[in-house]
Amino acid sequence: MSHDPERLANWIQPQQILVDVDAQDVEQALTIAAAAISSAHVIDAAPIFRALWRREQIGSTAIGHNLAIPHARSDAIASPLTVFMRTRSPVQVSDGEPISQFLVILVPKAGRQEDHLQLLALAATLFEGRESRDQISRAADAAEIAKAFQNALKRVARNAASQRVRPAFFTRS
């Protein structure tokens, strides 16, 4: 079953953007992300961190190009949410180049597995283009990063439409 593209675009657009975060390693970066989610959504940070950290222990969520997409399922939330975080200095990941950009994705544990997979696919698609990655990397502040995400979503939708083959996340059910 496919999804409403506007709903996926709303989910992937970061609800929070953290810039110039001081993190020494991935564990600390995930701790900071969990605390930000906790504060914004009035939920306990500990289970969020544990879910993200457990996933990271399975294998690094780094996808290259200075980016990681930590993701997990949580029973503490009712709908998917994302947080984008850029660290002041890159942090070393277990299996590759240092990372300074993290797109954290949380989906409800009781939600559909397909939602989780669709968000991961959309995130990967957003960052496969150099233009989107560069615009996000060069952004001076949270407002510019939010605009860069909006521009990246428009590019993905435009490219999908021009190819006449729409990825599942841009196909209406």
Whether pLDDT at 165 is above 60: no
Domain limits at 59? 5-170
Q: In CATH, what number is assigned to the domain containing residue 159?
A: 3.40.930.10
Total domain count, the chain:
1
pLDDT digits (tens, 9 = 90+) for 4-50: 667 777 778 888 999 999 999 999 999 999 999 999 888 899 999 99
Look-up of token digits 């615009």 = 135
Q: Give the confidence band of 170 by pLDDT, cuts at 50, 70, 90.
A: very low
129 and 152 in contact (C-beta within 8 Å)? Answer: yes
Q: Which tens digit of pLDDT belongs to each residue from 70-114? A: 999 998 888 889 999 999 999 988 777 899 999 999 999 887 788
The mean per-residue pLDDT over the stretch 134-154 comes to 91
- If DSSP codes are grouped into helix, strand and coil, which group holds residue 19? strand
8 A C-beta contact, residue 153 and residue 13: yes
In the block, tokens 């306990």 appear at 44
Pairing of β 81-91 and β 16-21 = parallel
Integer Cα distance of 156 and 22 in angstroms: 31
